[in-house]
Amino acid sequence: MYKVMMSVFLAVGLLIAVTTGIANSNENTVLPEKKPFTLALKSKVNSVNDWLNSRPDAVNNWVEETKEYQKNSWAEGKAQLIRNKNSIKYFFLGEEK
């Protein structure tokens, strides 16, 4: 009986020691802070914005060229999809009808 009671007291004491140790360890934790948005980076962003704003025609031409390229790419993709579909049909069904 003595050993059982000592085991219970030892377990309770160990439990209290562990839980209070864990609770105290959170107080000493150092969390990383966010790095500030530096002035050097802000000035670079501003200089890029100024450069883009000073050349609106170049930006507009670039946008139009991109739209035209995408239009052509989608047209080529649709044509390739039709060719792939026809070749798969031919593979399974034989001659085209």
Domain ranges of the chain: 55-97
Report helix, strand or coil for 94.
coil
Main-chain phi, psi angles of 32, to 5 degrees: -70, 145
CA distances from 40 to 31, 37, 51 (A): 26, 9, 17
Distance CA 97, CA 95 (A): 6
Residue bearing the bigger pLDDT, 92 or 26: 92
Task: Quick: pLDDT tens for 26-58.
Answer: 566 777 777 666 767 778 888 888 888 888 888
Distance CA 39, CA 42 (A): 5
